[in-house]
Amino acid sequence: MRRLRRTPALRRLVAETRLSVDDLIAPLFVREGIDEPRPIASLPGQVQHTRESLREEVAELAALGVPAVVLFGLPANKDAEGSEAWNPDGIVQVALRDLSEDMGDDLVLISDLCLDEYTDHGHCGVLTTDGRVDNDATVERYGLAAVAQAEAGADIVAPSGMMDGQVRAIRTALDGSGQTDVAVLAYAAKYASALYGPFREAVDVEIAGGGDRKGYQQDPRNAREALEEIRLDLEEGADLVMVKPALAYLDVIARARAEVDAPLAAYHVSGEYAMVKAAAEKGWIDGDAVLAEHVTAIRRAGADMILTYAAREIAPHL
């Protein structure tokens, strides 16, 4: 076997996994009411963009060959319902219009669809009087947000709240408003992970009262349940499905790939990226090499596309 590892050309020839720039999706943050980009301390190299700096960043990513971006919004005002999520003039909607005007069909525009960035309590949905997330009331709001994002130019909406029936509600709302061509990328197996800390800093989200999302996100101990979630979302009309996080759940990605034929995404999340950056800053590891190894592992496990904060860094080398 070692004879086929002797030179770089031989290793390339027999490589089982091919990572391409076409596999990458870049997550980006856009903030309302700022005049210049704001660096995110726990996500080195990432910023909260202005509308203008977002346009510049997306143009540069497209020039590198990155085929898609996913947008997360930071509104100037939050309320109990997260109503900026479906405001036609909300920050993600105006950013989508900007990018749609700039890029046309040359880039896939994906909009994260959740309420946590927009609610004053930090949960992914509206709450009942006793502080629990109201599933049915929440998915109604998701439908409103989906239509607003689609009308603003989203090619794909990506519900991430892990509410029961969210895909069906969104697909019904999109079809009912004439947005039948807009696809749904379901965060089908989104785990209640400890790896989201840097992301929450990036979107200024803090769950009120020190709460958590374990009541609606996937239990990290369960894999079979994740496959049921994926099947249900596909039955409800999802066009693509996602596993999140990626590295700690490679087994779930592999099982999903073996059992479903729909396009499969995986999210190389903020904590996974930030740990590499922190160790590299200490000089303990070669950060670029580790990021490439991580993303390749996600691809090897079976993901067709990878959401990663390393997209800009990796793309020039592919």
Active site residues: 190, 244
The dihedral formed by the CA atoms of 116, 69, 107 and 315, expressed in degrees to the nearest 10 = 180
Answer whether 157's CB lies under 8 Å from 187's CB: no
Residue with tokens 């909260």: 48
Look up residue 239 and give its two tokens: 């066009």
Answer whether 53's CB lies under 8 Å from 47's CB: yes
Taking residue 72's Cβ as centre, other Cβ atoms within 10 Å add up to 23
Cα–Cα distance, 311 to 257 (Å, whole number): 22
Exposure of 316 by Cβ count < 10 A (0-12 exposed, 13-18 middle, 19+ buried)? exposed
Look up residue 233 and give its two tokens: 């979302």
Look up residue 137 and give its two tokens: 């009331």
Look up residue 109 and give its two tokens: 């525009």
Query: In this structure, what are the phi and psi dihedrals at residue 233, rounded to the nearest 5 degrees?
Result: -65, -40
